[in-house]
Amino acid sequence: MDENEKFAQIRLIRTRHLGSMTFSLLIQRYGSAMRALAAIPELAAPGRTSVISLADVKAELAAFVADDANLIWHYSEVYPARLTQFNDT
């Protein structure tokens, strides 16, 4: 997964009023977090949701690096096999 898609996934999952199930459904429907993010304005009621900025995502990721934390992306080779057993849609 490229860096832009990673940023988009973080922005999508951190979108106000959007939970993990909706996140998964949007990824399935649009094929990527970048396309799902682009669809948010037409899907959400005006003023009902807000998407975290790219600058905030980059700052958050920099804090992870500073703390020696690692994000584990779904479908990556290091994602725990037992977690893939859960149906989140």
Tens of pLDDT, residues 9-66: 999 999 988 888 899 899 999 999 999 999 998 887 777 788 999 999 999 999 999 9
Distance between CA atoms of residues 20 and 84, nearest Å: 14
Boundaries of domain holding 29: 3-85
As for how many domains the chain has, the answer is 1
In whole angstroms, give the CA distance from residue 81 to residue 73: 12
